[in-house]
């Protein structure tokens, strides 16, 4: 592999982690909010 | 233990957090573009040097996260404040993600420069131990239902894990194995210092945003647990039964 392939792989992994963890946080926040709303409506 | 929900609106995240997130996101794009376009190839490694702009800030930011874990854990033991426990847990999760990222990036960098994806070098091994400790910390939190016991045990493991950080940092000086000495603006060629500084500052902004957002999520979840517990207690009061235990999610 050329050196650029390793560089591109490193930046792809970095952005994958940034977006992946960001989506995970959004999903957990939405889930917690929905749980609170459901509990308050009971 | 004081409730995380006391004296705040659990639904809203402070506006400054969103501003830091947007600025951090734009800053990291700008810093990476600067690193790609303005810094010259290294004499020995060529363009592989550009991996430094993500690998080194990820490692530094994981250390900052574990320092926050240390502060939050000590403060929890001192004040028994739920906010401190949630802050430590938020920083621990972010730090574990960053440590895993550091190891992955180091592996991608190591293959073309050292010829191996992994070796039992002192820096790599101590970083892997750090990751295992904080994965254990997160597992401990998910397996313990009682909030006070969870916070107490987490604080103990968090302090133990954070005290491992100086060992990771000094490992390249104490045991001269394969990993190079720490990269910092003082040890780098001036051609690379600006790009490294810009990437580190941008990463710091993103990490502040992520920890604050994770902390907000943890507060929402604590509020949901407290609400569920109150409703279970009031239901059992009406039914004249012993209250049911509410499992933490």
- Split at pLDDT 50, 70, 90, the class of B4 is very low
Query: Which residues in chain B have Cβ-Cβ distances shorter than 8 Å to A4?
Result: 47
Which of B149 and B187 is assigned the larger pLDDT?
Answer: B149
B55 has a chain A CB within 8 A of its CB = yes
Q: What is the ipTM of this complex?
A: 0.94
Query: Which residues in chain A have Cβ-Cβ distances shorter than 8 Å to B231?
Result: 39, 42
Position B11 pLDDT exceeds 50: yes
Is the distance from CB of B226 to CB of A40 less than 8 angstroms? no
Q: Tens digit of pLDDT for each residue in B192-214?
A: 999 999 999 999 999 999 999 99
Q: Tens digit of pLDDT for each residue in B103-143?
A: 999 999 999 999 999 999 999 999 999 999 999 999 999 99
- Considering only the beta carbons, identify the residue of B109, B217, B249 that sits closest to A10: B109
B80 to B9, B155, B161, B221: CA distances (angstroms): 21, 10, 20, 19
- Considering only the beta carbons, identify the residue of B101, B111, B224 that sits closest to A14: B101
CA B197 to chain centre: 20
Q: What's this model's pTM, rounded to 2 decimal places?
A: 0.90
Token pair of A28, please?
Answer: 């957990």
Position B15 pLDDT exceeds 50: yes
Instruction: Give the pLDDT score at B9.
Output: 54
Which of A7 and B244 is assigned the larger pLDDT?
Answer: A7
Query: Which residues in chain B have Cβ-Cβ distances shorter than 8 Å to A39?
Result: 224, 227-228, 231
Q: Do A10 and B108 touch (CB under 8 A)?
A: yes
Query: Which residues in chain B have Cβ-Cβ distances shorter than 8 Å to A36?
Result: 10-11, 220, 223-224, 227
The DSSP annotation for B83-138 comes to: HHHHHHHHHHHHHHHHHHHHHHHHHHHHHHHHS-S----HHHHHHHHHHHHHHHHH
Q: DSSP character for B2?
A: B
Q: Which residues make beta-bridge pairs with A25?
A: none
Q: Tens digit of pLDDT for each residue in A2-35?
A: 899 999 999 999 999 999 999 999 999 999 999 9
């Amino acid at each position: 592999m050329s050196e650029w392939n390793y560089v591109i792989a490193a930046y792809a992994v970095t952005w994958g982690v940034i977006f992946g963890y960001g989506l995970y946080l959004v999903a957990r926040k939405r889930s917690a909010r929905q749980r609170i709303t459901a509990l308050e409506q009971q | 233990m004081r409730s995380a929900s006391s004296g705040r609106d659990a639904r809203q995240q402070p506006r400054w957090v969103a501003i830091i997130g947007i600025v951090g996101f734009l800053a990291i794009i700008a810093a990476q573009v600067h690193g790609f376009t303005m810094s010259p190839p290294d004499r020995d490694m060529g363009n592989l040097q550009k991996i430094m702009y993500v690998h080194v800030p990820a490692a530094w930011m994981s250390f900052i996260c574990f320092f926050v874990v240390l502060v939050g854990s000590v403060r929890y033991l001192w004040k028994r404040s739920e906010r401190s426990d949630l802050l430590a847990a938020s920083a621990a999760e972010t730090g574990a993600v960053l440590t895993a990222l550091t190891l992955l990036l180091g592996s991608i960098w190591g293959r073309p420069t050292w010829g191996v994806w992994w070796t039992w070098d002192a820096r790599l091994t101590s970083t892997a131990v750090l990751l295992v400790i904080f994965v254990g910390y997160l597992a401990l939190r998910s397996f313990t239902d009682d909030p006070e016991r969870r916070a107490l045990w987490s604080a103990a493991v968090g302090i133990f894990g954070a005290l491992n950080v100086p060992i990771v940092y000094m490992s390249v000086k104490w045991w001269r194995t394969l990993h190079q000495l720490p990269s910092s603006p003082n040890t780098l060629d001036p051609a690379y210092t600006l790009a490294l500084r810009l990437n580190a500052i941008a990463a710091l902004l993103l990490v502040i945003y992520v920890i604050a957002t994770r902390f907000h999520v943890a507060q929402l979840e604590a509020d949901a647990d407290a609400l569920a517990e109150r409703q279970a207690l009031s239901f059992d009061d009406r039914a004249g039964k012993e209250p049911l235990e509410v499992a933490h999610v």
